[in-house]
């Protein structure tokens, strides 16, 4: 049972107080990016107003303060995901860069011709394309865990799919289309039994579920600050022994120990993977976002979203010809609903872009498209879907407004 005071939470988000097209904003696109509470906005503003300096270099007070705040944010991330050491936390531009870091650094150093990489049909393009590039470069084989009709991973053949040739398994923790929560325990256990490393895309999961990387036992985990109430910044967690052995991803300032004309040596973790001036303010803002989520309690966040998602799944059934993609029970999925709408008249189907455009007139924000998951849409034989996604600031009343607006869409296309 959710214990969140959503009315109070909404007051913390300035953007939710505005009107669009003369109507109160209904923001249902948090799977793309979340809104930011006042405390996060204040942390960004305070840094730029009072502490703006580069880090790890200056010995004057502002630089030392900025360095301390930046590194404190790293330790906040460490505690949030229960990593063993702050040295296992690397700040990146986004989750996409974090996944590419693993592919380019670990993958290039460890993959050989004939090795196998296993991903799933559920994956976001960020967890597909880097492995395609790596497989092509190394003449490796790319294999795929299939999905079933409910949009969940089909693991019946996992024993045969993951073999002694498997070196990397890269899977999502939660689909950004079906919302399906991946049974990572089975996949990770099997992967480790054949000597493979596991890369988890937790961009959709980290904002919504309690995340304990030590209990999970994945080798690498990537996620984004901007989907969890924070600024646009990414995080890569990696087991320290693996990170220590990996070559740098980018070259330049701060990732070096010494530079000579013919050779260089590398800085200690995590700085070896943070070349150049990092996103200092964004890291500090992410620390503020983590404080906000910790105050709510991630168990409460999950409980609220389960209730809201189940309410949405039930209410959306009231719209004739609307079909939600993915598991039917909220306990098996995250806080989103991707759907298609058939028309009963002249049109065989209603394009998601038309749905989103009409909903925008009612100040309702949803996503329309393939959501950077084209292979999954190919599986469903759909060019695109419409997607409503929920977070701590959403209410059942907003779901009611969504359904009412979708009923109007249906009427418009059935004339």
Q: Where are the alpha helices (DSSP H) in 194-336?
A: 213-216, 240-245, 280-296, 298-316
Query: Sheet harboring 322-325: ordered strands across?
Result: 322-325, 336-341, 385-389, 367-369
End-to-end CA distance of the chain: 42
Q: Where are the alpha helices (DSSP H) in 236-319?
A: 240-245, 280-296, 298-316
Q: Are strands 141-145 and 116-120 parallel, antiparallel or unpaired?
A: parallel
Q: Give Cα separations from 340 to 213, 242, 359, 396 (angstroms).
A: 35, 43, 14, 21
Lookup: tokens for 155: 């693991």
Task: Report the C-alpha gap between 274 and 89 in whole angstroms.
Answer: 11
Peptide bond into 29 cis (omega under 30): no
Task: Report the C-alpha gap between 150 and 335 in whole angstroms.
Answer: 16
- What three-state secondary structure class fits 188? helix
The number of beta carbons lying within 10 Å of the beta carbon of residue 24 is 14
For residue 23, the cross-strand partners are: 20
Q: What are the residue numbers of the active site?
A: 372
């Amino acid at each position: 049972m959710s214990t969140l005071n959503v009315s109070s939470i909404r007051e913390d988000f300035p953007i939710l107080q505005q009107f669009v097209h003369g109507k109160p904003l209904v923001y249902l696109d948090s799977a793309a990016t979340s809104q930011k509470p006042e405390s996060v906005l204040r942390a960004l503003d305070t840094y730029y107003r009072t502490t703006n300096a580069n880090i790890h270099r200056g010995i004057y007070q502002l630089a030392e303060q900025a360095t301390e705040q930046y590194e404190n944010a790293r330790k906040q991330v460490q505690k949030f995901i229960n990593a063993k050491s702050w040295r296992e936390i690397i700040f990146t531009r986004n989750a996409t860069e974090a996944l590419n870091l693993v592919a380019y650094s670990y993958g290039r150093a460890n993959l050989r011709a004939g090795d196998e990489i296993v991903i799933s049909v559920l994956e976001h393009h960020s967890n597909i394309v880097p492995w395609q590039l790596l497989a092509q470069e190394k003449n490796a084989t790319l294999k795929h865990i299939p999905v079933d009709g409910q949009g969940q991973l089909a693991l019946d053949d996992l024993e045969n799919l993951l073999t002694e040739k498997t070196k990397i398994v890269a899977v999502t923790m939660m689909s950004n289309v079906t919302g399906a929560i991946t049974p990572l325990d089975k996949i990770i256990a099997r992967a480790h039994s054949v000597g493979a490393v596991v890369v988890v895309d937790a961009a959709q999961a980290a904002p919504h579920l309690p995340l304990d990387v030590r209990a999970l036992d994945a080798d690498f985990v990537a996620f984004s600050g901007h989907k969890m109430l924070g600024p646009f910044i990414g995080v890569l967690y990696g087991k320290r022994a693996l990170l220590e052995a990996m070559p740098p991803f980018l070259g330049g300032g701060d990732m070096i120990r010494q530079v000579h004309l013919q050779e260089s040596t590398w800085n200690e973790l995590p700085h070896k993977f943070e070349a150049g001036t990092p996103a200092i303010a964004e890291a500090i803002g992410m620390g503020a976002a983590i404080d906000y989520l910790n105050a709510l309690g991630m168990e409460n966040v999950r409980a609220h979203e389960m209730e809201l998602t189940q309410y949405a799944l039930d209410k959306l059934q009231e719209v004739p010809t609307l079909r939600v993609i993915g598991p039917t029970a909220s306990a098996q999925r995250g806080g989103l609903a991707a759907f298609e709408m058939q028309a009963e008249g002249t049109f065989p189907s209603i394009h998601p872009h038309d749905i989103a455009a009409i909903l925008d007139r009612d100040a309702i924000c949803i996503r329309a498209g393939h959501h950077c998951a084209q292979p999954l849409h190919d599986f469903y034989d759909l060019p695109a879907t419409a997607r409503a996604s929920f977070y701590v600031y959403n209410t059942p009343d907003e779901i009611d407004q969504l359904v009412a607006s979708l009923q109007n869409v249906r009427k418009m296309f059935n004339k």
